Every structure is written in structure tokens, then in C-alpha cells.
Amino acid sequence: MKIQRARRLYSVALVALVTLVALVLPGGSLVAQGKGTIKIATQSPLSGGQAALGEGIKLGTQLAIEKFRGPLDKLGFKIELVPYDDQAKPDVGVANAKHILADKDILVVIGHLNSGVAIPSSEVYKDA
């Protein structure tokens, strides 16, 4: 069960990074903007009773980043993981979402683990 979940999380992170790579290829919007750093945020519980599951989201994203680091380096882009601990609490997730949107270098958010956090946070993201 845990292996299947880890594979699923890795797959989601991989799809997000493939999309990101498409953005930085010639003709993509990031190349046109001349950005040098790409930040990818994760939102998951990194403390409390669900920390192990949240850590899986963070580590799966880190694995995907490592896989694409070489091609992005060749294109002149630095890629950085910015993990956020939503503590499995809706109010913390919403506050984190606001911080994520305030950082214009964060282009992707991977997460959430809990629908109780994801749904109110999505209200913040949709206004971006």
C-alpha cells in the first residue's frame, strides 16, 4: 500500500516537472522571461501524526527534481524545492498558500495530502 502511494506521488511530481521543463524549453514562457531560478513548493503535513505521509510528498518531489536537475542546469536554470508544513490544518494551509503566491519564483505547488486543507487552499490559488 505504501509503495503504491509513493509511486503515485512520484508520478504526480514527475508530471508536474515534465510540464515545467516544457515551459523552459525554447519557446516556453520561462525562457522568454529569462528567469534563472525555478522554485517548486510542496504543501503537506511535515509535523504531527501525518508527518510520514507528508514527508513522502516532499521526498517524492525532491526525487523528481533531482531527475530533471541536469537538463535544467544545461538550460541555465537552478531548481529549488520549497517545502511548506501545513500541519494538516486548513488555516495553516491557507496561510502557506498566501506565502506561496507572494513568492513569484514559485511556479508549481505539489500537494496537498488532506482535502480539508486542499479545498480552502485552492480558493487562494484560484485567484492567482
CATH number of the domain bearing residue 32? 3.40.50.2300
Is the pLDDT at 102 greater than 60? The verdict is yes
- Other CB atoms within a 10 A radius of the CB of residue 51 amount to 15
What's the predicted TM-score (pTM) here?
Answer: 0.74
What are the DSSP E strand ranges found in the chain? 37-44, 78-85, 106-111
Count of structural domains, the chain: 1
**pLDDT bucket at 74, cuts 50 / 70 / 90:** confident
Q: Which H helix or E strand runs over 51?
A: helix 51-74
Which residue segment(s) compose the domain that 82 sits in?
Answer: 2-125
Higher pLDDT among residues 37 and 89, named by residue: 89
